């Protein structure tokens, strides 16, 4: 079933588990993420980043993802990740997305507040949830120009109060596109933010977070944890092996079968690590 982020986030942020947000690029990985969520009976967020939208028109991508979400047996959010303009946010809303992110994290604080508030007003008018970012989660890729800025707890409090957003991404030591689990999480900073901010928190760049830290984060007031690189590596590495081992094959659908299974396996592992295995045990 297609739901908004707000519908599923509040409870998760107050419990010992977090909602997984997976960056997907189309049917192959999105369908496997939903299968993983259904097998574990958990809600999930399908997210599209700017690379995905550059590859496929957002209306077509939105039709695919919302179609899968509506048929799913678990709650599924279709979310725009890192929208850089109000126009991108509006495009996602028109395409049927149930949640959006406006990312003004590279802007001065006042400008970030002003633009995020405008995006929030539009989103809420159409019944769509919205996430913002204060501080800035950087990138491990040096070719991407994005300054990493740790979140200042007092600024986070002001940001959520003045924008009216439904979730807030904070920078506490992660980086986007990390392949190895080497992130150094600043738990003291996280606790300071939690003391001041009641809005559910979001952690970006979580492929680079150790499994024990993912589990620990899920016990904080973290509502959503974003994971993308782990799925891309699972799909891409397996696809490479398939192509190299079958030089006479040319049917891409046949090449996709094993990579899709690996995406599903990784998605299930991450979902369990975020506390859903613990939740299921407690409910038995």
The tens digit of pLDDT for each residue in 255-270 reads 999 999 999 999 999 9
Determine the pLDDT at residue 284.
37
> What tokens does 108 get?
């001065």
> What are the residues whose beta carbons fall under 8 Å from the beta carbon of 100, sequence distance 6 or more?
79, 80, 83, 89, 92, 93, 119, 123, 128, 129, 130, 131
pLDDT at 281: 41
121-159 b/e with 16+ CB inside 10 Å = b?
ebbeeeebbbbbbbbbbbbbeeeeebebbebbbebbbeb
Tokens of 37: 């969520």
- Name the pTM for this structure: 0.91
Check pLDDT > 90 for residue 150.
Answer: no
The whole-chain average pLDDT of the chain stands at 89
Least confident of 60-69, 144-153, 259-268: 144-153
pLDDT of residue 282: 43
Return the closest-CA partner of residue 23 out of 1, 54, 44. 44
Give the CA distances from residue 95 to residues 4, 24, 68, 116, 133, in Å, rounded to whole numbers and listed in that order: 14, 16, 14, 20, 23
CATH of the domain at 89: 3.20.20.70
Question: Distance between CA 83 and CA 102 in Å, rounded?
Answer: 5
**Residue 30 pLDDT exceeds 80:** yes
Q: What is the pLDDT of residues 183-237, one digit of tens each?
A: 678 899 999 999 999 999 999 877 778 888 888 888 888 999 999 899 999 999 9
Does residue 137 register a pLDDT over 80? no
Per-residue pLDDT averaged across 51-60, rounded? 94
Alpha-carbon gap, residue 207 to 214, rounded angstroms: 9
At 69-89, the pLDDT tens digits run 999 999 999 999 999 999 999
Catalytic residues: 81
Residue 187: give the domain boundaries: 5-283
What is the count of structural domains for the chain? 1
144-168: average pLDDT:
88
Q: What's the confidence (pLDDT) of residue 102? A: 97
pLDDT at 211: 84
Residue 180 pLDDT level (bands cut at 50, 70, 90) = low
Q: Calculate mean pLDDT across residues 99-127.
A: 96
Q: Among positive and negative, which fits the CA dihedral 7, 77, 206, 138?
A: negative
């Amino acid at each position: 079933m297609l739901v908004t982020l707000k519908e599923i986030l509040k409870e998760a942020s107050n419990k010992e588990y977090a909602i997984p947000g997976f960056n997907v690029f189309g049917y192959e990985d999105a369908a496997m993420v939903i299968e993983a969520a259904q097998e574990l009976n958990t809600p999930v967020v399908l997210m599209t980043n700017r690379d995905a939208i550059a590859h496929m028109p957002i209306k077509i991508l939105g039709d695919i993802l919302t179609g899968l979400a509506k048929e799913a047996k678990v709650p599924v959010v279709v979310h725009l990740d890192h929208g850089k303009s109000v126009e991108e946010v509006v495009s996602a809303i028109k395409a049927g997305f149930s949640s959006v992110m406006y990312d003004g994290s590279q802007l001065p604080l006042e400008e970030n507040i002003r633009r995020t508030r405008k995006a929030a007003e539009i989103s809420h008018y159409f019944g769509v949830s919205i996430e913002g970012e204060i501080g800035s989660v950087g990138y491990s890729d040096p070719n991407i120009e994005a300054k990493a800025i740790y979140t200042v707890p007092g600024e986070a409090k002001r940001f959520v109060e003045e924008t009216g957003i439904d979730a807030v991404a904070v920078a506490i030591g992660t980086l986007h596109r990390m392949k190895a689990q080497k992130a150094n999480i600043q738990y003291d900073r996280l606790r300071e933010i939690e003391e001041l901010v009641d809005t559910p928190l979001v952690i970006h760049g979580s492929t680079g977070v150790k499994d024990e830290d993912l589990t620990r984060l899920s016990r904080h007031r973290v509502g959503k944890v974003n994971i993308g690189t782990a799925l891309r590596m699972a799909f891409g590495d397996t696809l490479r092996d398939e192509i190299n081992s079958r030089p006479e094959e040319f049917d891409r659908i046949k090449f996709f079968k094993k990579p899709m299974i690996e995406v599903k396996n990784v998605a299930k592992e991450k979902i369990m690590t975020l506390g859903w295995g613990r939740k299921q045990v407690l409910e038995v």
